[in-house]
Chains A and B, each alone.
Chain A
C-alpha cells in the first residue's frame, strides 16, 4: 500500500484511476445490460433484420409502405411487435389478397417459420411491441381450465361462441373459429387484437389468464375433446339441432309412417 500511496500524486495517477473507473462501469454494464448478447448473436439479429427487410420489401411494402409507415391500403406496422407479425403471417392472413372482402380470412401460410421470424425481427426493429410468446407462456402447465372457461365466457364467447366455434359480426365480418388454431397464435391474438378483435394486453388479461383460456379451449375444443352426447352438430346450438331434428328426426319418422301405412292388412287393398 505504501507504494501506491507514495505514487498517488504521480502525474499519471489520474489517468490510471480514470481507466479503472471506465473499465469497472463498462464491465458492470456488460454484465447487467439487458441487450447484452454475444457478438455472434448480435450479428445473427442484424442479419435477420436485414433478411426480414428484404422479404418485407417484396411481400409487404406495397400495402404497408417501404418503411412500415403504412398507406391507404394497409396500416402502419411501427410498434405492432413481433407477436402481431407471427400471428398474421403465421396463420396465413398476411399477405392478404389484393381484393379482400369484409375481413382478411385465415388461409394457407406462404412463409416458412424462419422467414416469419425474420419478418418479425424487422418489424420489431421499427418500434417496440409485444414479443412472440414462449411455450412456457402458452403451454398447459399450471393452467386452471375452469377459471379459463369463466374468463372465456366473460370476455370471448360473445363473439367466438361458447366453445370457440366462431360467430357473425356486422357487415360480413366475423369472429373466426378457434378450432385447430395453434395455442401460440391464440395467445398472440389476445395480445395484439388482430382486425376486429380488441386486444387484451397483460394489464387486462394477465399472462396466467391467457394461459387458462388457452387450456380451456384445448379442453373443450381440442383434438382430444370428447363429445359425451354423440355428434356435436357443429356445436352451434339450437339452429343446427332444430335442422337435424326436422330432417333426420321428423323426416325419418315420416318415412317410417309411410312404410307402416303402405303395409296394410291384406283383407282388402284399396
Chain B
C-alpha cells in the first residue's frame, strides 16, 4: 500500500519537473519513443551482435583461412575445432560465415540504398508532377515490373560482370562483382517502392498544408523534400527493411545462377546455395548461414517497425 502512495507522489513530482524543463527536441522525443519499443531494442541488439560477429571475427580468422580447403575433413559435423562444421571441400564454415556475412550485409544495405534512391525519386516526381511525366514514368515502372526480375538480374549481371575492377574497403579486397550485384539488385527492386511513394505523394499533395506551403511561396523542390517525403517515411522505412531481406536473398539466387559473387568468396547466400545437396545429411551447412540471415532480416524488420512508430508524431504512444 505504502509503495503505491510513493509511486503516485513520484508521478506528480515527475510531471512537474517535465513542465518546467525546456521542451524536448523532436529527435529526443523520437528516441524516447524508440527506446520504449521492446522489439526494436531487441532488433538493435540482434543487429549489433551480427555486426560484431562479422567484424570482430576477422581478428580470429584470416580470409585465407576461410577459403582454405582440406578434403580430408570435408563435410565434418560441428566440433570444437570447427564449431560450425565444414563444407564439401573441407572449408571451415565458421570462418566463412564471418567473411560471407560482411559481403551479404554490404550487398543488402547498398542495394537497398540504390533502390530507395531510384524508387523515391521516380515515385515522388511521378506523383507530384502528374500528367505526362507521371504517365511516362509509370509506364516505365510497369515495364520493369513485367520483365521477370530474374531475367534482368542475369542479363545485367552478364553484361556488367568483369567491367568493374576489384577494390579495397576497410582493409579487405572485394571483387568487382559485389558492385555489379549491388547495382543489379538495386536496379531490379525499386518498382514497388516507387509505386508506394507515388500513391502517398498523390494523397499528400492534395492536403491543405501543401496548399499552404505553395501559398507561402515554397519551391516545388522543398515541397517534395521537406513536406511530402518526411510524411512518407513510414512506408519507405517499412519497404526498405523488407528490401534488405529480399536483397540478401536475391544475392543468393544470382549466385546460384552463376552470375553472383563468385566462389571461393563466400556470402551467406551462396553458402546456402552450396548446402542444397546436403539438406538432410549435413544440416549444419545450411543451418548456420540460414540462422544468420534470419537474425539479420528479423533484426532489421524490428528496428524498422520501431522507427516507424517513433517517427510518427501522431502515433498512440504519447505518454511523455
**Chains A and B are bound partners:** no
Residues of B within 8 A of A (CB): none
Residues of A within 8 A of B (CB): none
